[in-house]
Amino acid sequence: MRRIIVLVTLLLLVATSGISAQKRRASRAYEAFEAGEYYEAIDFFKDTYSKTSKSDKAARGEYIFMIAESYRLVNDPRSAETWYKLAVKQSSGRPESHFYLAMTYKKNGKYELAIEELNNYKQVAPADPRADQEILACELAVEWQRNPEAYIITELKDLNSRGADFSPVYSREDYGMIYFTSSREDATGNKTSGATGENFTDIFESRIDKKEKWSTPVPVDVINSEFDDGTPSLSVDFSELFFTRCEVGKRENKGCKILYSMREGGRWSDPINLELVADSLVAAHPAISNDGERLFFVSDMRGGYGGKDIWYVTREGSGWSAPKNAGPDINTSGDEMFPYVRVDGTLYFSSDGLPGMGGLDIFKATEQPNGRWLVENMKSPINSSADDFGISFEGLSEKGMFTSTRKGRRNDELYSFVLPPLEFNITGLVKDEESGAAIAGSTVQLIASDGSNLQTETGNGGEFRFALKQNVDYIFLASKEGYLNGKERETTKGEEKSRDYMVTIMLTAIDKPIELPNIFYDFGKWELRPESMVSLDKLVETLNDNENVTIELMSHTDSRDTEEYNLDLSQKRAQSVVEYLIEKGINPDRLTAKGYGESTPKIVDEEISAQATFLKVGTVLTEEYINSLPTEEQKEITHQANRRTEFRVLRTDYNPEENGE
């Protein structure tokens, strides 16, 4: 009996010891997570998970979720995806697992899966507005990838290391030197960050040589410490330096602060703390304005809109004002970070709370006269499904550097970007309007709104080509002996991407009468109906483009009335057209009205035959032929074809100047 009691006691002690050890493991994992040491928390949670009984499904499900969260917060979306997939399968799992799995899919560029999972999340959390916003963001991301902006992106292999390299800024007026943040092996601190698993960061500098190659980065003197130092910002004259320092202790997050240094005799002074926020809070990612009067930064202080917000202070003598939030146009329930102020005052920042392509996207914010901000996503290829942040421009040029994790690795890497000058070209064809045949050797004149005037000849295929300029209206005027001049218009105004234009100019031969379509009169009358004006206005344009031409306006009737009546009616109708053209500014000397009555029946061409298949090409629509047709409908069609207004060219040597024009 005594042996049994001893055995039971030992078993109870072992069980109690196991429970106690399990609690210590879990406590250590949560302590690391709460301290922001997510990299260490991963191992602690995995160890706790592996030693938790399979029967304790609730606890195992919670540890799975915390492992996924830790991977998300160390920016390892591939591993996070694996663990969030496990988390959503847990019967007792958290509903937000669906949301974060969707966000991980999105960050990994799997937009269709992200949308599917967001719809799953809407079933368990229908009141959360983020689901619909993120579905829209995924749809936009697909569209932006399909139609990217014209920026050219290049990885800066000379600068990138195995560690994290991010937040570059130009540190010299000629843009030949940069400062950036890095956790590479040459960093000052010899400890490893529990948050990232890498060295603490330092600010490094690199210079570009004559071969456009960046030198080996070296730490910047004086300003680096054993802690995390980074995200530098320099004044427009490069005499003031602002940067972030984050001090940590074991299981203790001491917050981040913004330090300030001045250039003195070619060296930086010892940094001082600007004391913008309380010591326990975050003040990071400084960005000084062009005039030096406003300093933007990131903080999690109270009064914000979500996680980390962008705030700013203004200079007051030798100090700074109380922080002011940048407002809801910029800040969201997510994180807004890495502000940068361009020399023209435009604010750039990164956000995971505004509709974007993945994790952090870079946004452009333009301050409006009323103090509000107009915020625009920079889209692809500046942004990707990964994190994109820390942008910096070479002055007003559309070129610079930024940071991205787009290669699929966890590490931040530096990239350059440049927007090539917009290029516009136009390729055109000159063709015969009736036959569609190319017209070789025709002259094409380019007339531009900026005063440019160029000329070329079409090749054997009737082709021509011009290079165009940005924000200019163009007219292309084609001419050839035996043809009326033809023209087309194009514009490059409002175009934000390079483009190749195509245009076809149709020329009309003058060796036979040219019909004016859609010229209508009421029965037995000669006043022009309103719907006739479109065709006549086009004739006005043709006459203005062909100033050396005189024409005869020819009006024809059908055969249903006396010849005398039809001749008089057609003359009056031709004269009404002439009078309209005169009202539009055409010199009367260039116009002759002639009524032909029923004397010149229409000859069926391909266009008429295509519309009325019972009529063969070449048929003359005489009264005798029309009367032979079997139906009244066919007869009416042929009568209508005979009722027409045409013009023919009489002269091509009219001189406007001699006639007072």
Mean pLDDT computed over 286-304:
95
Q: What per-residue confidence (pLDDT) applies to 20?
A: 67
Domain-wise residue ranges, the chain: 23-146, 152-418, 424-509, 514-659
Count Cβ atoms below 10 Å from residue 437 Cβ, excluding itself: 10
Q: Which residue has the tokens 């390079």?
A: 498
DSSP notation for 141-183:
HHHHHHS--S-EEEE-TTT--SS-EEEEEE-STTS-EEEEEE-
586 CB contacts (<8 Å, ≥6 apart)?
Answer: 540, 543, 544
Structure confidence by residue, pLDDT tens digits, 138-180? 999 999 999 999 899 999 999 999 999 999 999 999 999 999 9
The tokens describing 477, both together, are 């005027």
Q: Which residue has the tokens 């600010």?
A: 203
Contact 49, 64 (CB under 8 A): yes
Q: What per-residue confidence (pLDDT) applies to 253?
A: 57
Q: Which residue has the tokens 């932006």?
A: 144
Mean pLDDT computed over 511-521:
83
| CATH fold for the domain made of 424-509 | Immunoglobulin-like (2.60.40)
Q: Which of 408, 403, 338, 406 is nearest to 160 (CA)?
A: 403
Quote the percentage of the chain above a pLDDT of 90.
66
Using the CB atoms, write b or e for 265-289: b if 16+ within 10 Å.
Answer: eeebeebeebebbeeeebbbbbbbb
Signed CA dihedral, 506, 493, 402, 168: sign only = positive
Residue 3 has pLDDT above 50, yes or no: no
CATH 2.120.10.30 fits 152-418, yes or no: yes
Structure confidence by residue, pLDDT tens digits, 227-284? 899 999 999 999 999 999 998 765 555 679 999 999 988 899 999 999 998 877 889 9
DSSP-based three-state secondary structure for 518: coil
Q: What per-residue confidence (pLDDT) applies to 248?
A: 74
Mean pLDDT computed over 37-47:
88
In terms of pLDDT, which residue wins out, 556 or 196?
Answer: 556
Q: Which residue has the tokens 């994109």?
A: 388
CATH 3.30.1330.60 fits 514-659, yes or no: yes
Indicate the pLDDT class of residue 193, thresholds 50, 70 and 90. low
Using the CB atoms, write b or e for 383-394: b if 16+ within 10 Å.
Answer: bbbbbbbbbbbe
Instruction: Tell which phi-psi region holds residue 338, choosing left (phi > 0), alpha (psi between -120 and 50) or beta.
Output: left
Q: Which of 152, 189, 182 is nearest to 167 (CA)?
A: 182
Structure confidence by residue, pLDDT tens digits, 385-406? 999 999 999 999 999 999 999 9
Parallel/antiparallel/unpaired status of strands 388-393 and 361-367? unpaired
Q: Which of 525, 535, 547, 644 is nearest to 580 (CA)?
A: 535
Q: What per-residue confidence (pLDDT) applies to 525?
A: 81
pTM over the 0.85 mark: no
Q: What per-residue confidence (pLDDT) applies to 28?
A: 86
DSSP-based three-state secondary structure for 428: strand
Pick the CATH number of 23-146 from 3.30.420.40, 1.25.40.10, 2.60.40.10, 3.30.465.10: 1.25.40.10
Contact 430, 478 (CB under 8 A): yes
DSSP-derived secondary structure letter, 657? G
Residue 14 phi, psi dihedral angles, 5° rounding: -65, -45
Please list the alpha-helical segments (H only) found in 506-655.
533-545, 563-583, 606-611, 623-627, 632-642
Count Cβ atoms below 10 Å from residue 127 Cβ, excluding itself: 6
Mean pLDDT computed over 545-557:
91
